[in-house]
Amino acid sequence: MLDTLRIVSPALTREAAAALVARGVQRSAVDTETGEELYNITTAELLGSYDHRIMLKLEGEGGGSNIVLEGSVHKLMLGHNAYGGSADPLACARLLVARVEALVGCSLPSADLWTCRKVDWANVYDLGSYEAVEGYFRALQGVSYPRRKVARYAFESIHVPGRMTTIKLYHKGPEFSTHDRKRLKDCMEHEQLEQLQQTANRLLRSEVSIRRRMVEDFGSWPLVSQLTGEYLERIHDAEIARLVREGCAEMETVRTYLEVKARLYDLHTSGTAAAILGTWMQLSALGESETKKGKAARTFYRHRKQLLEAGCSWHSTDIRQAAQIFPIDFLPVSSDPRAWKLEAPEVTAQLEPYRRAG
């Protein structure tokens, strides 16, 4: 489902630019030696539905200016992004532009003609309990990503920044309590808010922020009208699969000791299978960094490649007791049966006129 959008308009009329300047804060810089204006930018935060803030930035002056909008369309419609978002990028962009038009009181170019600079695409998964989500993060403490640093916070989140995309996995319960609960307490009934918190406590969220990857795929920043939910979901799943190193296996993934042993002994000689199994057990218990320290680099990478080719996962295995708290076959991608992908009725109702607009 789509969460945050950053979109850039075509050139604005002078009237629209003036109206936006009147609503924003103008920032400029001047070269003190030459008197040349280095830049002139108008920025503002507009309050939308549920007191959700939309960032507005005007670049340039008068006719020919462009507006940059960024905000969580999901929160704009529901007040939260725990579940129930939309998979329709164009309808979401149309709604965002229409809401800004209403807030600033002027007409803007059609959302279909805006370019997209960033999309946050996310899934949420119901693991059944707070403890199950925490257990999953305990099991992922050894996870790594090729050529990127992996940052962890307690047993609540994993963050992998990058230029093309950024990956986040996090426990929705603590995040909702910290960022959204206080904001919503004045516009939601206490019982509704409490129920939302209890639901969030069971949810794990996977999120991929897609940025310059779009330029690589389209040749330039794409129009909003060129994006599809299928494309964004495919990028999300590929990035998450690389993080947990299960995406390239062509056969059904196995992750318990007996299943992995049987798979390896089916594919290799006894000696080779035993060696790879030993590496798998270390990966399951210690993670990649620690396992790599005790092996020759060539051996480590060869065994890891053989495990991937055999469809053997070393995350969420039965080697770790904590992993038994949550579903042993869980994988945070769109095809997992625990993924909540249904659009909330309130979201469908709000987007309906913008779908018909096409």
Output the CA–CA distances (angstroms, integers) from residue 209 to 1, 172, 238, 245, in the order listed: 12, 17, 13, 19
E strand or H helix at 126: strand 115-126
Most confident of 9-18, 45-54, 222-231: 222-231
**CA 139 remoteness from chain centre:** 20
- Output the pLDDT for position 121: 97
Can you give the three-state secondary structure of 250-296, one letter per residue?
CCCCECCHHHHHHHHHHHCCHHHHHHHHHHHHHHHHHCHHHHHHCCC
Percent of the chain residues topping a pLDDT of 70: 85
Ranking 18-32, 87-101, 151-165, 274-288 by mean pLDDT, the lowest is 18-32
Burial level of 76, CB count in 10 A (0-12/13-18/19+)? buried
Question: For residues 312 and 255, is the Cβ–Cβ distance under 8 A?
Answer: yes
Residue type, 252: E
pLDDT at site 33? 60
| 248 pLDDT more than 80 | no
Upper half-sphere CA count for residue 80 (Cβ side, 13 Å): 27
pLDDT of residue 29: 45
Highest mean pLDDT among 85-94, 240-249, 260-269: 85-94
**DSSP secondary-structure letter at 145?**
B
Q: What single-letter DSSP state applies at residue 323?
A: G
What is the pLDDT at residue 242?
85
Rounded to the nearest 5 degrees, what angle is found at the Cα of 227, between the Cα atoms of 234 and 47?
110
pLDDT at residue 46, rounded to an integer: 64
**Over the stretch 308-328, which tens digit does the pLDDT of each residue have?**
999 898 887 777 544 446 677
Identify the top-confidence range among 5-9, 38-42, 244-248: 5-9
Q: Cβ distance 150 to 230 under 8 Å?
A: no
Give the model's pLDDT for residue 251. Answer: 55
Q: What is the pLDDT of residues 256-284, one digit of tens each?
A: 888 899 999 999 999 999 999 999 999 98
pLDDT of residue 47: 59
pLDDT above 80: residue 120: yes
- Widest pairwise Cα distance in the chain: 78
What letter would DSSP give residue 31? -
Interval 22-78: pLDDT, tens: 766 454 444 556 555 444 444 556 655 555 678 888 777 656 788 889 999 999 998
Q: Where are the alpha helices (DSSP H) in the chain?
A: 14-23, 73-78, 89-104, 130-139, 172-179, 181-184, 190-200, 213-218, 229-244, 257-267, 270-286, 288-293, 297-309, 345-356
Pick from 217, 212, 233, 299: which is nearest to 85 by CA?
A: 233
Distance separating alpha carbons of residues 274 and 267, to the nearest angstrom: 11
Mean pLDDT computed over every residue of the chain = 84
Q: Taking the domains of the chain in order of start, what are their residue ranges?
A: 2-245+331-356, 257-314
